Amino acid sequence: MVNNITILMGGIQGEGVVSAGINLMKTLSKLGYYTYGCRSFSSRIKGGNNTITLHASTEKILCIPDKSDIIIAFDDETIPQNIDKLKEDGLILYDSTLKDDGYKDYKSTPLPMTEIAKTAGSTIMKNTCGMAFIGRILGIDRLIFEESIKEKYAKKADSIITQNLKALELVYNHSIDIQMDHLILTGGDGFSRPLMIGNEAIALGALMAECRFMAAYPITPASEIMEYLGNLLPRYGGVMMQVEDEIAAVNMVIGASYAGTRAITATSGPGLSLMQEGIGLASMTETPLVIVDSQRVGPSTGLPTKHEQSDLYSLYYGGHGEYPSIILAPASVEDCYYDTIRAFNLADEYQCPVIILSDLSLSLSPQTIDPLTYNEDIINRGKLMDKGRENFEAFSFTEDGISQRVLPGTVGGEHHVTGLEHNQLGLPSNDSVNRRKMMDKRFKKIQPLESLQEVCLTKNHKESVLLLTFGSNYGIVKEAVELAGNKYDYGYIKVIKPLPKDQLKDLLDTYKKVIIIENNFHGQLAKIIIGQLGYKDKISSIHKYDGSPFTPFEILEELGGLI
Amino acid sequence: MSATKDYSNNVNPTWCPGCGHFSILRALQIAASRLEIPKESLVSVSGIGCSGRLSGYMSSYGFHGIHGRSLPIAQGIKLSNKDLTVVASGGDGDGFAIGLSHTLHAIRRNIDMTYVVMNNQVYGLTKGHTSPLSDVGFVTKSTPYGAIDSPIRPGILTLSSGATFFAQGFSAFQEELVEIIIKAIQHKGFSLVNVFSPCVTYNKVNTYQWFRHQLVNLQEDENYNPNDLQGAFNTLLNTNGLCTGLVYQRVDSEGRSETNDTPLSKLDLKITEEEFNRLMNAFK
């Protein structure tokens, strides 16, 4: 019996291996296990090898371990491409129609997945068979799968259900001549939890934050946000529009937000580059704007289906001129949900662009999550007024830099906004005194954020080394620290712009060394922190930029060289 | 009854004396007053260039955006609150160079709003550069040997993109322009009005006098049927686009169907805990 297990499933893209893996994760989540899945895919529609590695555990885990316990192959490429990820005592299972794998050092056995599927009615069900074989190996009752098949195909023809149930029965009755009892999972806690990807949590967060408009252009790895909101919004009176390009998307969202509807767009690096001028416009007109940037490998088209965290510089320094904006960096699917709600509130409160900074791993990796809390009172629309007055000053100078806002349609609030420098009435102004005051006003707005506590820390009371990271890396760092016997304190930074300066200073004063872990070439976060706070001698960084996330052992190896 | 001056904020325009844009601004204000649009319900959205300043001279809600993007902003506003009357404006560069794709896609969407192109066939605010609507041979600082590329034909392009309303006006014919803008605002769907608006400083070819000699007034032709698409194409080809009046209007245009009768910005946004749990259960 084990309390966690890692399984790599691979096959030809488009044949349903990934969805079989996700169905298995859903079933395990229902039984009270925590799961985390990692997909690898090529930038093509059909053909080419793709895999899903899934980890199931009785404890919550936010990454995939370095090595798998089982590889299950539906095509000839899966095993040679992933054999280095198999534990020494790992098990290879392969479809019996494939040629003998030839990996004699490992325990391996063919399974008649295609054959059983064919007998039951159609080879299409070979993935169902694969899923069922794994379920059987993990000691999951056949009835559980029966239920999930009935549920999944409830709207399909009866024959489909019958065929799948037949396949399931044949799998469970097939005799396997290899010892696998040690792979049985200890029981889950029986508490049924949802399985979500970051992009779905962001979309759901937007809906709950009362967002009712989205304009976007499809791009990997952000499209699921527009897909899910495209399904959700019309059901609640809202609109999701796929538009001609990201420039249209950001400007349409600015228009919708200006007119009072909470609105969002989502993109990745290439789209973000196109949106830069619009982001500047939102900051100049002080229009609330929420953008999701799900990072992938750049520059240019880079590696569209691979992971990176390299947009910090372009979000910090991109776009012409200087303007305030806020960057939130969720580290888990749960964070994606809560941070999205927070993003809308911050955008309204500070009347400026807010970026939800995700990354490919966080956006696309399915995770079993703890239940999201429903809260009635989560909306803060800032200084939004329902009445105007004569000569309404939408850009009045105030103590905190934030002016009152009225929406078009409000009697007596008529006013002008412009991307030109402007006076308090919003009319173009060349005056140099006014220019300085307006710049000061805009930057003053977000200053209070600098004194908030935005680094989430796990203290092991080893206050000499702090490992600091952001985004999906957090789960990997956590696992690495636990594997190393909790020798380090670690944490993740939730707000990257403006930096929580006060808290960071405290941390940099407390620790002898702060090691910043990120997926880019330059160590962008480390450089941004050093640029603003100094402490060059205390900060070092670990970075990886080959398109794949860190593994826990890679982090430990790098740490070995630094400490 | 609202007066024309109610829609003016009394800011002195930066346009050159004699600029065609004065007439467009005034025509828009007169149209708003005749239609009695409450000024809190009127949103003027503009692009960049001389034309872009228009929103800053209106006493209404105004959004002066970035170059070429007045249409996405305006569509976002209208989709957000369909009770508003949204009039976007911009120059020939906004509409047919940097923002061309937005123009075509706005036409496709047929959202109930109006777009006024203040067309002077030259880039004035950059101090005289060629426009995609400049004639071949037109000499500017960026085409010192004369423009080589053939100009875009706004009418043909607009109609072939599926426009449900297309009209043309001329700054010197103010009453006609007012009537056209009124019809455009009343049209259910996306209405595009191309206005010949002479630049007195940088366009010494397409002058007021030149237009007076060239333009054919469609309203003077009793047989002209603005609901006949084929006829509209023929007229645009025969006049080389140099005609004014309502060129084409699709009578059965309803505008883009909205998903809900309530403006988005006024929706009841409450989602109950029961509903939330139902959404979450879909992930189990």
Of B48, B55, B283, the CB nearest to A194: B283
CB spacing of A252 vs B73 below 8 angstroms: yes
Tell me whether residue B264 is in a domain. Answer: no
Of B259, B283, B284, the CB nearest to A239: B259
pLDDT tens digits along B3-58:
999 999 999 999 999 999 999 999 999 999 999 999 999 999 999 999 999 999 99
Please give the Cα distance from A263 to A250 (Å, whole number). Answer: 10
Contact residues on chain A for B64, CB-CB shorter than 8 A: 416-420, 428
Please give the Cα distance from B249 to A555 (Å, whole number). Answer: 66
Statement: residue B259 has pLDDT above 70:
no
Contact residues on chain A for B25, CB-CB shorter than 8 A: none
Instruction: Tell me the CA distances in angstroms from A53 to A63, A96, A297, A364, one per residue in order.
Output: 10, 21, 21, 13
Q: How many residues does chain B have?
A: 284
Please give the Cα distance from A260 to B77 (Å, whole number). Answer: 8
What 8-state DSSP symbol labels residue B98? I
* Minimal-distance CA residue of chain A relative to B79: A256
What 8-state DSSP symbol labels residue B95? I
Instruction: Tell me the CA distances in angstroms from B179 to A46, A57, A303, B32, B183, one per residue in order.
Output: 57, 72, 55, 11, 6
SS3 for A146?
helix
Interface of A with B in 255-314 (CB under 8 A): 255-261, 263, 277-278, 281, 285
Is some CB atom of chain B closer than 8 A to the CB atom of A200? yes
Confidence (pLDDT) at B258: 64
User: How many domains does chain B fold into?
Assistant: 1
Statement: residue B74 has pLDDT above 70:
yes
**Which of B269, B271, B284 best probes binding to A when mutated, by most A CB atoms within 10 angstroms?**
B269
Interface of B with A in 59-118 (CB under 8 A): 59-66, 69, 72-81, 83-84, 101-102, 104-105
Question: Residue B186's CB: how many other CB atoms inside 10 A?
Answer: 12
ipTM of the complex: 0.98
Label each residue of A310-331 as H, E or C: CCHHHHHHCCCCCCCCEEECCC
Which single residue is written with the structure tokens 């973000």? Answer: A272
Tell me whether residue B36 is in a domain. Answer: yes
Helix A158-173 × helix A126-138 angle, to 10°: 40
Tell me whether residue B45 is in a domain. Answer: yes
H or E element: which one contains A12?
A: strand A4-12
What 8-state DSSP symbol labels residue B8? B
Q: Pseudo-torsion of CA A16, A17, A18, A22, nearest 10°? A: 100
Beta pairing partners, A223: none
Answer whether the bond into residue A218 is a cis peptide, omega within 30°: no
Question: Domain range spanning residue B205?
Answer: 4-255
Confidence (pLDDT) at A180: 81
CB spacing of A372 vs B76 below 8 angstroms: no
Interface of A with B in 346-375 (CB under 8 A): 371-372, 374
CA A314 centroid distance within chain: 19
Is some CB atom of chain B closer than 8 A to the CB atom of A188? no
Is some CB atom of chain B closer than 8 A to the CB atom of A32? no
Q: How far is A325 from chain B (nearest CA, A)?
A: 18
What 8-state DSSP symbol labels residue A448? G
Interface of B with A in 11-40 (CB under 8 A): 11, 38-40
Confidence (pLDDT) at B260: 58
Tell me whether residue B262 is in a domain. Answer: no
Please give the Cα distance from A424 to A190 (Å, whole number). Answer: 60
Structure token pair of residue B113: 């709003």
Structure token pair of residue A88: 């020494």
Answer whether the bond into residue B72 is a cis peptide, omega within 30°: no
Tell me whether residue B260 is in a domain. Answer: no
Please give the Cα distance from A407 to A261 (Å, whole number). Answer: 10
Q: How far is B68 from chain A (nearest CA, A)?
A: 10
> What is the residue-level pLDDT of chain A in tens, covering all 563 positions?
899 999 999 999 888 899 899 999 999 999 999 999 998 876 677 778 899 999 999 999 999 999 999 999 999 999 999 999 999 999 999 999 998 767 778 899 999 999 999 999 999 999 999 999 999 999 999 999 999 889 888 888 889 999 999 999 999 999 887 878 888 999 889 999 999 999 999 999 999 999 999 999 999 999 999 999 999 999 999 999 999 999 999 999 999 999 999 999 999 999 999 999 999 999 999 999 999 999 999 999 999 999 999 999 999 999 999 999 999 999 999 999 999 999 999 999 999 999 999 999 999 999 999 999 999 889 999 999 999 988 899 999 999 999 999 999 999 999 999 999 999 999 999 999 999 999 999 999 999 999 999 999 999 887 799 999 999 999 999 999 999 999 999 999 999 999 999 999 999 999 999 999 999 999 999 999 999 999 999 999 999 999 999 999 999 999 988 87
Tell me whether residue B283 is in a domain. Answer: no
Contact residues on chain A for B50, CB-CB shorter than 8 A: none
What 8-state DSSP symbol labels residue A154? T
**Contact call for residues A260 and B83 (beta carbons, < 8 A):** no
Confidence (pLDDT) at A177: 78
Tell me whether residue B278 is in a domain. Answer: no
**Contact call for residues B271 and A238 (beta carbons, < 8 A):** no
**Which of A204, A236, A345 best probes binding to B when mutated, by most B CB atoms within 10 angstroms?**
A236
Structure token pair of residue A186: 């200890």
Q: How far is B167 from chain A (nearest CA, A)?
A: 25
* Minimal-distance CA residue of chain A relative to B83: A409
What 8-state DSSP symbol labels residue B11? P
Please give the Cα distance from A230 to B181 (Å, whole number). Answer: 35
Answer whether the bond into residue B263 is a cis peptide, omega within 30°: no
Is some CB atom of chain A closer than 8 A to the CB atom of B233? no
Contact residues on chain B for A195, CB-CB shorter than 8 A: 283-284
Structure token pair of residue A73: 């192959």
A493 phi-psi bin (left φ>0, alpha ψ -120 to 50, beta other): beta
Q: How far is A554 from chain B (nearest CA, A)?
A: 33
The CATH number covering residue B205 comes to 3.40.50.970
Tell me whether residue B284 is in a domain. Answer: no
Is some CB atom of chain B closer than 8 A to the CB atom of A521? no
Backbone angles phi, psi at B199, to 5 degrees: -95, 115
Which single residue is written with the structure tokens 């580059």? Answer: A273
Backbone angles phi, psi at A332, to 5 degrees: -145, 170
**In percent, how much of chain B has pLDDT > 70?**
99
CB spacing of A412 vs B40 below 8 angstroms: yes
Contact residues on chain B for A30, CB-CB shorter than 8 A: 284
Q: Name the residue type at position A73.
A: A
Query: Mind listing the domains of chain A with CATH numbers?
Result: 4-193 (3.40.920.10), 197-368 (3.40.50.970), 383-445 (no CATH), 452-562 (3.40.50.920)
Residue B148: closest CA among B139, B156, B157: B139
Contact residues on chain A for B280, CB-CB shorter than 8 A: 194, 371-372
CB spacing of B76 vs A253 below 8 angstroms: yes
pTM here?
Answer: 0.97
Is some CB atom of chain A closer than 8 A to the CB atom of B177? no
Confidence (pLDDT) at A458: 94
CA A550 centroid distance within chain: 15
